[in-house]
């Protein structure tokens, strides 16, 4: 059995729960996240952003193109209506996303990425790992072999770890995206973010950062050190690095079911304090009622069966304080952006996304209301839907 399931690791100096009300003194004022010095250096910062993001897109686009040459498309079992937009359309849409990302930075809504210029050796190492694993992914894809982690669990998991629904739910024990070891190894955690960036040709982080805009609006008049944020399905902690870089005093809890991914998140968030790490399923966190002001779920819901989505939203409502914010980033749904609808259909079959087809047609607003959450704005960011809701 897993000995650390549900274990919480708490920063010894993390602030305890206090009121997350409106700021009451000048000491509570959070500086402009872009910083006045950065504003004065705007031309240089803009040039650095263009250089960093341009290099990033070229690198990941190159790997995407190479992947297309090294792999064979999967034929869907049933025809997909339409063919989706061409490459020029996608490039323009990605450019629009990056322009929007820059405008948000320029407006002081959030800081430039903390790793704006990636170290070349790190980028090359990531590319080598990705390309080395690609043939294994390709073999699984064409064999439609997506249950390896259930039939032959990766070390150091033992068969008894997989036998108890309280440890790993059966829906979780799959090779999502046909990736090596599913969610259950350090190798998978090391590969995951790079694989996602290749899929979205360098746009994944910029899509995640669009969630910082409603978060900034929520925290603008509040004492961030007295608020608490929970990230459900935090993965390797990538999104939380952007949160902590902008609000370093904001206490955050990173929750994930995978011990390997949670350990990666722990390492990634090591530069910041006021962090907690919880290994638990999002539908049954074991955390106290009304203990968070903000809950985020980034690319989680399309990986969940329909019944579990309902359970997670019920848990979100239980954990949020009255008036608290639920911040949701995930795949587009059918009809959000019609040109991409055929790509959404193909994604479900080409990357082993067993619950994606039900996700893209789900009435998310109705699910939110049924759970006691009031839906707010819905925005599109490239291939992502950014949505907010508040606890009534």
User: How confident is the model at residue 359, as a pLDDT?
Assistant: 97
- Tokens 């608290």 belong to 324
Q: What is the pLDDT of residues 147-164, one digit of tens each?
A: 888 877 776 554 444 444
Question: Residue 285 sits in a domain of what CATH number?
Answer: 3.40.50.150
- Count how many domains the chain has: 1
Asked if residue 240 belongs to a domain, the reply is yes
Q: Taking a C-beta distance cutoff of 8 angstroms, is the pair 146, 175 a contact?
A: yes
Tell me the per-residue pLDDT of 180-197, one tens digit each, with 9 for 90 and over: 999 999 999 999 999 999
Residue 71 lies in a domain: no
Q: What is the pLDDT of residues 99-112, one digit of tens each?
A: 999 999 999 999 99
Structure tokens at 109: 């809504």
* 368 belongs to a structural domain: yes
Tens of pLDDT along 6-24?
A: 444 444 334 444 568 665 4
Task: Please name which of 28, 12, 8 lies closest in space to residue 20, comparing C-alpha atoms.
Answer: 28
Domain that holds residue 240: 8-21+224-391
pLDDT value, residue 377? 96
Predicted confidence band at 62 (pLDDT cuts at 50, 70, 90)?
very high
Average pLDDT over residues 287-314: 98
In a domain, residue 300? The reply is yes
Tens digits of residue pLDDT in 352-361: 889 999 999 9
| Domain-located, residue 50 | no
C-beta separation of 8 from 278 below 8 A: yes
Residue 348 maps to a domain: yes
Other beta carbons within 10 Å of 359: 22
Strands 252-256 and 320-331: unpaired
Per-residue pLDDT at 117: 87
Instruction: Grade residue 25 by pLDDT with cuts at 50, 70 and 90.
Output: very low
Supply the mean pLDDT for the chain.
88
Q: Which of 229, 203, 238, 240 is nearest to 93 (CA)?
A: 203
* Inside any domain, residue 203: no
Using one digit for the tens of pLDDT, what is the confidence trace for 322-369? 999 999 999 999 999 999 999 999 888 788 889 999 999 999 999 999
Q: Is residue 352 part of a domain?
A: yes
The pLDDT of residue 299 is above 60: yes
CA distance 244 to 221: 18
């Amino acid at each position: 059995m897993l000995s650390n399931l549900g274990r919480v690791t708490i920063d010894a100096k993390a602030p305890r729960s206090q009121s997350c009300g409106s700021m009451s003194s000048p000491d509570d004022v959070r500086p402009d996240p872009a910083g006045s010095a950065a504003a004065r250096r705007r031309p240089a910062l803009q040039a650095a952003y263009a250089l960093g993001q341009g290099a990033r897109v070229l690198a990941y686009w190159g790997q995407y193109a190479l992947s297309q040459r090294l792999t064979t498309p999967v034929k869907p079992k049933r025809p997909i209506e339409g063919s989706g937009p061409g490459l020029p359309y996608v490039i323009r849409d990605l450019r629009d996303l990056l322009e929007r990302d820059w405008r948000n930075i320029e407006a002081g809504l959030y800081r430039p990425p903390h790793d704006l210029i990636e170290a070349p050796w790190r980028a090359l190492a990531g590319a080598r790992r990705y390309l080395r694993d690609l043939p294994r992914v390709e073999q699984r894809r064409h064999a439609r072999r997506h249950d390896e982690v259930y039939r032959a669990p990766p070390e150091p998991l033992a068969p008894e770890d997989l036998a108890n629904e309280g440890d790993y739910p059966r829906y979780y024990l799959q090779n999502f995206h046909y990736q090596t070891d599913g969610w259950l190894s350090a190798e998978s955690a090391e590969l995951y973010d790079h694989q996602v960036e290749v899929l979205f040709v360098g746009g994944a982080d910029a899509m995640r950062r669009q969630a910082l805009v409603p978060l900034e609006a929520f925290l603008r008049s509040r004492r961030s050190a007295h608020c608490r944020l929970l990230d459900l399905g935090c993965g390797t902690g990538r999104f939380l690095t952007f949160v902590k870089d902008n609000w370093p005093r904001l206490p955050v809890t990173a929750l994930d079911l995978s011990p390997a991914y949670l350990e990666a998140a722990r390492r990634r968030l090591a530069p910041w304090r006021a962090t907690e790490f919880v290994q638990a399923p999002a539908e049954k966190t074991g955390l106290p009622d009304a203990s968070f002001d903000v809950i985020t779920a980034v690319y989680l819901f399309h990986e969940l069966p329909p019944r579990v989505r309902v359970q997670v939203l019920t848990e979100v409502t239980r954990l949020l304080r009255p008036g608290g914010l639920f911040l949701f980033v995930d795949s587009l749904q059918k009809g959000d952006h019609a040109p991409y609808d055929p790509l959404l259909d193909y994604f479900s079959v080409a990357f082993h996304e067993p619950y994606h087809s039900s996700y893209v047609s789900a009435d998310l607003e109705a699910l939110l209301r049924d759970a006691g959450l009031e839906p707010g704005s819905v925005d599109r960011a490239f291939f992502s839907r950014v949505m907010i809701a508040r606890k009534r």
